[in-house]
Every structure is written in C-alpha cells, then in structure tokens.
Amino acid sequence: MIANTPKPPYYAVIFSSVRTKVDHGYAEMTQRMMHLAEKQDGFLGVESAREELGITVSYWTDLESIKKWKQNSEHLIAQNKGRMEWYKHYKTRISKVERDYGFDK
C-alpha cells in the first residue's frame, strides 16, 4: 500500500535490487526487517514491490534516524546475508522529499 507520510520535508531511502535464486530465509528476514523498522525512531512508512527488479522505499523523519537504522545489529546481519546470498545487484539511494501530492478515491 501507499505509505501515509507527513507534510514534507522528510527523507526516502530507495533500495533497488535484483535477486539471486537463493531463497533460504529471505521472506522471514524481510518480514523481520519490516517489523523492526516500524519500531525505529523516525520511521514513517514503507512501500515495496518486486518483480524481476525489487524496489523498497522507506520514509524517515531525518538523516540521523536513517543512520541508526543502517547500524541496527539485526539489520547489519540482514545486509550481510543480502550481499552474500540473496542479491545479484542492489543500490541504495537517500533523497530528501521536498514536495508530495496525490489523489484518493
């Protein structure tokens, strides 16, 4: 679903990835990371989609919250498993959201 974010400015972490064929524990780790992220100070929401290319965008109040999330001990384990097993390629981008708008029916 579309994340319900506050009025800008806030930050977006955009994680784009291409998976390997290895699936051992991936779904469980993804769920665990979502659950953990939701408990982090500064977390605002997340949106994710996966086909051949996976894109996950998480939203944060500030850069310090993003830094703390990147350094979370369980998240560090997930990052390492991702590099070693689950991803062929990935890229992380961090952006400041200065404007947003949308439409709801």
CA separation, residue 64 to residues 21, 40, 73 (Å): 34, 11, 16
Residue 105 pLDDT: 87
Q: Locate the DSSP E strands across 1-105.
A: 10-19, 43-50, 53-60, 87-97
1 CB-side CA count, 13 A: 5
CA separation, residue 37 to residues 3, 72, 103 (Å): 14, 9, 27
CB atoms < 10 A from the CB of 15, how many? Answer: 17
4-17 confidence digits (pLDDT tens): 999 999 999 999 99
Mean pLDDT, rounded, for 47-61: 96
The fraction of the chain above a pLDDT of 90, given in percent, is 97
